[in-house]
Amino acid sequence: MSTALKIESETVRVPAVVRGARTVRVALAGCGTVGGELVRMLHHGAAETRARHGLRFELVRVLVAHGERPRPDELDRARLTTDLDAFLAAAAEADVVVEAIGGIEPALSIARAALARGKRLVTANKALVAAHGPELAALARRHGGRLDFESAAAGGIPVVRALRESLSLTGIRSVRGILNGTTNYILSRLEDGWTFADALADAQARGFAEADPSRDLSGEDAADKLRILAWLAFGTEPARLDVRRRGLKQGADRLARAARALGGAVRFVAEAARVPEGIVASVEPVLVAAGGDLGRTRDEENLVIVESEWNGRIRLGGPGAGGGPTASALLGDLVRPAQRHRAPRRAAAPAVPDRRAHAWAIAVERGTSAEEALRATLDRVEVDVDRIVRGEGVSVKRTRPVAWPRIGLALRALEVQGLSPGILRVEG
């Protein structure tokens, strides 16, 4: 508790307030795909961050490996450094250190230095958390800092927070899903009949797969994420989790053909489950139902399914990688502890009536006077019908896109005539 007091009192001693917003000084290590996107989000989201959360983020220093590479226009070049010591000195004065480099070193040194000084560390680094998470968490506890890593597993899907806070006491039985977008993209192309080589080349051309995709294909990337999720779900030391791992290879197109022959689909499934003896884990190609949750997760999407005794089956799906989603998750970790548990501060957007145009399906019983009344009424309020369908005793008129007030008008006109048609908004 004394450390918590210390953090609070430090904040009280240095009340850097700018126009009603509290300033949070951020030292950022890494400015590639993820770090660069975070720089852009901090810049373009500044007004919203201030209005919604009362916070102003200030980038005090940005560590990069290569000084000459192109960087986001939004980045003040004076903040850039390629010198680790200079960065660590700046980080010691910052409120929070964001690590978006990846790999073990120098990420581990940066993380240890930040946490040993009681700083907040936010990291997107799955390899780091999978190998050193408990050590870093212990450092954070000991020195009154904190460690957040929502972006280290499943990108923009808020599964780390869900496991850590919402679901940790629900009696979790298993956590499984699709944790690697590259291999899921490749499997989706194999499903479409492509060769493995073409699918891999396409994934690389689209930027999902690295020039060296071996960590994706071997399952090491998914295994690191699974280690993190198993740590949160079951308390199992991540570095000691024994993950049975069978990767995707050239022969994967044969797996896709085999799955089709069996009437299913192949997915590269990561799973950690509780058995009576402890926790088992695997990352391997699995035959799944084509129309099930896993089978329907295609392209670079990720999906995490958490099954528990008290809470049933929770599914969390979305983009598992990419600069935007990963940087979004970093930003959430940046905002959260500063925001604490506060609800939004003001009405950021007023409520207004819905004037958007939709198609509507209006159904009446077939072969009744309602059919003719509906036609006449839609004519009168000038709503165009683009399709009429009859079946199962109903006659359905599908309108061209039109805003609700006009359909509401038609509805009231019909009700005056004693008719009550069924009305569906047509999605999409």
- Binders of its own copies among residues 356 to 385 (CB under 8 A) are 356, 361, 363, 365
Establish if 327 lies at the interface with its own copies (CB under 8 A): yes
Q: Which of 119, 126, 225, 397 is catalytic?
A: 225
**Binding residue for its own copies (CB under 8 A) from 74, 198, 284, 299?**
284
Q: Which residue has the tokens 């949750």?
A: 293
- Please measure the distance between the N-terminal and C-terminal CA atoms of the chain and give it in whole angstroms: 52
Nearest distance in Å: CB 284, its own copies:
6
Q: Which long-range contacts (CB under 8 A, 24 or more apart) does 186-192 make?
A: 186/248, 186/252, 187/248, 187/252, 187/256, 187/265, 187/266, 187/267, 187/268, 188/298, 188/299, 190/252, 190/253, 190/255, 190/256, 190/266, 191/256, 191/260, 191/265, 191/266, 191/298
Asked if 225 is an active-site residue, the reply is: yes
Q: Which residues contact 371 (CB under 8 A, 6 or more apart)?
A: 364, 395
Establish if 188 lies at the interface with its own copies (CB under 8 A): no
Nearest distance in Å: CB 12, its own copies:
5
**Binding residue for its own copies (CB under 8 A) from 32, 72, 118, 134?**
134
Establish if 340 lies at the interface with its own copies (CB under 8 A): yes
Establish if 169 lies at the interface with its own copies (CB under 8 A): yes
User: What is residue 131's three-state secondary structure?
Assistant: helix
Q: Which residue has the tokens 């969390």?
A: 316
User: What is residue 347's three-state secondary structure?
Assistant: coil
Whether 400 and 381 have beta carbons less than 8 Å apart is answered as no
Nearest distance in Å: CB 81, its own copies:
27
- ω before 276 within 30° of 0 (cis)? no
Establish if 14 lies at the interface with its own copies (CB under 8 A): no
CA distance 331 to 335: 6
User: What is residue 54's three-state secondary structure?
Assistant: coil
**Binding residue for its own copies (CB under 8 A) from 211, 212, 353, 416?**
353
Stretch in the footprint of its own copies (CB under 8 A) among 43-51, 94-102, 200-208, 374-382: 43-51
CA distance 23 to 94: 11
Establish if 156 lies at the interface with its own copies (CB under 8 A): yes
Stretch in the footprint of its own copies (CB under 8 A) among 24-32, 111-119, 177-185, 240-248: 240-248
Residue 48 vs 379, nearer CB to its own copies: 48
Establish if 390 lies at the interface with its own copies (CB under 8 A): yes
Residue 49 vs 88, nearer CB to its own copies: 49
Q: Which of residues 286-325 bind its own copies (CB under 8 A)?
A: 286-289, 291, 294, 296, 308-319, 322, 324-325
Establish if 206 lies at the interface with its own copies (CB under 8 A): no
**Binding residue for its own copies (CB under 8 A) from 232, 383, 402, 410?**
232
For 179-263, list the strands marked E by DSSP: 243-245
Establish if 254 lies at the interface with its own copies (CB under 8 A): yes
**Binding residue for its own copies (CB under 8 A) from 78, 211, 352, 416?**
352
Stretch in the footprint of its own copies (CB under 8 A) among 94-102, 177-185, 215-223, 257-265: 257-265
CA distance 390 to 377: 19
Supply the residues annotated as catalytic. 225
